[in-house]
Structure 1
Amino acid sequence: MTTKLRQSLLGFFGAASLVAVLAGCWTAADAGVAIGVWGRMIAAWLVGLVIAIAMGWSGSRGEQRLAGIAPLIVTVIALLLLAACFADPGLQGVHRWIVVGAIRINAAAIVLPLMIVVLGQRVWGPIAMIAVLLLLVAQPDASQASGFAVAAIILLLAGKRTPGALASVAVVAVLGMIAWYRPDPLASVAEVEGIIGLAWQRAPVMAALAVVALALATAAPILSGFRSNRATALALAAYLAGTAIAPAIGAFPVPLVGMSMSPIIGFWLGIGALGAQRQASRP
């Protein structure tokens, strides 16, 4: 049963995300974007799928895989990667990427979904959440900050509502809002932030398909048949949905559909970790 439940999560998300990715690739190809750009999207989806399957297999070996020091290690690595973004000069004062050759890696888009799943009810969770948001505000990245803030609030309210927890909720909410007031001069790139509009210009049905597929992919944690760890699933879904909605408000990459590999890998990491966690938490 646990294997079937994990497979339903991977299958639901996999199908929806693949449609979203392919819709974006078709749009980019039709707009004349080089195959080396949109081809990497398909490669990233395949890599993410393999990683998610491997994470589920590992999780089936026992709850200890997701307990102990592992969540702390993941959190420390995530914070270090977010901080490493400031080592690069950035673009117009914006520091969201780790540059590897010609590739820009959005660290937050990769590490935050996984971090949301492993944080759970860790006693040090609120400190980690606030540290993440401080880095996101400094970058600045309102899309990632707002998505993570909503997820963090859900996780905090799911635990004991002590004065400290409620204070953490207030701090997280304020930091999430501050991120939207930080200067962000970056212009929209058609095949990244403006991919839905680009699809609409070429084939409205493709734009509609991309939006529906993206919506289903973001809802996968709560629509795929799982019932345990409800708060974690809801938090992950809230983050995914938040980053998917943000491009309608500002110049932020459209996850899965836009030509950016980082959200694809990040979404798969979150889904893989959630499937592994749920499998490990069942008898």
Structure 2
Amino acid sequence: MHILGINPMREAAHFLGIAAGALIGLFFLRIKLTNKVRKMVQMAVILLLVLSLPSPGVDGVHRWIDTGMLHWNVAALMLPILLALWVLPLKYQLLQIWTALAIMAILVVQPDASQASAFGAAILALRFTHWRGQSKFIILAIILFIIAAWMRHDPLKPVLEVEEILFRTWDILPILAVMGWISLAVTAMCPLYFIAQENRKNAAPLAIYFAIIALMPIFGAYPFPLIGYGFSFPIGFCVAMAILINQDNASKDALTE
């Protein structure tokens, strides 16, 4: 994106993130995702989100964990992976529900209204596709968490290559911005394209998450996924899609045995 005057080092980091996501995705495409592995990932998500809270943060916002020079957006990295694991119902459904509510609470504390909205909407979809027998309390709790996240003060200013990239591109080369929006729409629908038709309903929560995250920059200084520069979103997306395809293949193999 030299037309926007973006630092080449940021460009390099972004494309390295995409490459890393593809490589990690290949690993998750091949491993056996047992219930034990899925539970461990759930616990890892909670732990990493909690660890983001005491981090130095930026202007009182705590969404990141730093490892040396790397600045990880934990929710962008881990939440799509978690939702991909939940495409197939877990044996321990109650653990899923309490994990989701704990994550929503952490997103309010961070605060991150974009992730709270996208993840919350995905959880509401799960309530109707996976947790039909569960209390309507879940619906009320998720809605209240989303409202609370939007009520929190978020002082962060937009960054050109992250939160403003498509808006600034529109000012310079509109056709490129249109192509960017189209690519976001296509990637949001990827969870529905790459799995068997009978499993598409189960993948809807992940597609909803990607779609809402893509729309969030319209409503505030929130990053464009995949197009906005950074490596957390690309890695999270690639690994989530690999897990989704892995589980879809496993379910088809089980039916043919």
Same fold (TM over 0.5): yes
Q: Please, which of 96, 106, 112 is the counterpart of residue 73 of structure 2? A: 106
* Displacement after TM superposition at 1:265 (Å): 0.8
Residue 54 (1) aligns with residue 27 (2): yes
Which residue type is aligned with residue 243 of structure 2? A
Q: Is the Cα–Cα contact under 8 Å of residues 111 and 149 in structure 2 kept in the other structure?
A: yes
* Displacement after TM superposition at 1:160 (Å): 4.6
* Displacement after TM superposition at 1:87 (Å): 2.3
Which residue is equivalent to 1:116?
83
Q: Is the Cα–Cα contact under 8 Å of residues 217 and 224 in structure 2 kept in the other structure?
A: yes
* Displacement after TM superposition at 1:99 (Å): 1.5
Q: Is the Cα–Cα contact under 8 Å of residues 195 and 248 in structure 2 kept in the other structure?
A: no
In structure 2, relative to structure 1, the CA distance for the partners of 1:142 and 1:110 (3 Å cut) is: same
Which residue is equivalent to 2:114?
143
The size of the alignment, in residue pairs, is 249
Which residue is equivalent to 1:241?
211
Which residue is equivalent to 1:93?
60
* Identity %, equivalent residues: 31
Q: Secondary structure at the match of 2:135?
A: helix
Q: TM-score when scaled to structure 2?
A: 0.92
* Displacement after TM superposition at 1:234 (Å): 0.6
Which residue is equivalent to 1:78?
45
Which residue is equivalent to 1:260?
230
* Displacement after TM superposition at 1:232 (Å): 3.3
Residue 39 (1) aligns with residue 1 (2): no
Residue 196 (1) aligns with residue 166 (2): yes
Alpha-carbon separation, structure 1, partners of 2:181 and 2:35: 39
Alpha-carbon separation, structure 1, partners of 2:142 and 2:152: 16
* Displacement after TM superposition at 1:225 (Å): 5.6
The one-character-per-residue Cα deviations of 1:17-45 (angstroms, maximum 9, x if unpaired) are xxxxxxxxx2xx22222211011111111
Q: Secondary structure at the match of 2:220?
A: coil
Which residue is equivalent to 1:11?
none
In structure 2, relative to structure 1, the CA distance for the partners of 1:107 and 1:183 (3 Å cut) is: same
Which residue type is aligned with residue 117 of structure 1? A
Alpha-carbon separation, structure 2, partners of 1:204 and 1:197: 9
Which residue type is aligned with residue 85 of structure 2? V
Q: TM-score when scaled to structure 1?
A: 0.84
Alpha-carbon separation, structure 1, partners of 2:201 and 2:102: 21
* Displacement after TM superposition at 1:176 (Å): 1.8
Structure 2: gaps (5+ residues): none
* Displacement after TM superposition at 1:190 (Å): 1.3
Q: Is the Cα–Cα contact under 8 Å of residues 126 and 165 in structure 1 kept in the other structure?
A: no
The one-character-per-residue Cα deviations of 1:169-217 (angstroms, maximum 9, x if unpaired) are 2211221222111110111111110001111122111111111111101
The one-character-per-residue Cα deviations of 1:113-141 (angstroms, maximum 9, x if unpaired) are 11112234331211010000000000000
Q: Secondary structure at the match of 1:105?
A: strand
Which residue is equivalent to 1:209?
179
Cα root mean square deviation, aligned: 1.5
Q: Is the Cα–Cα contact under 8 Å of residues 195 and 245 in structure 2 kept in the other structure?
A: no
Structure 1: gaps (5+ residues): 1-25, 59-64
Residues 10-25 of structure 1: pairs in structure 2 closer than 5 A: none
Which residue type is aligned with residue 176 of structure 1? I
Greater CA deviation, 36-45 or 75-84? 36-45
Which residue type is aligned with residue 217 of structure 2? P
Q: Please, which of 95, 102, 107 is the counterpart of residue 131 of structure 1? A: 102
In structure 2, relative to structure 1, the CA distance for the partners of 1:225 and 1:69 (3 Å cut) is: closer
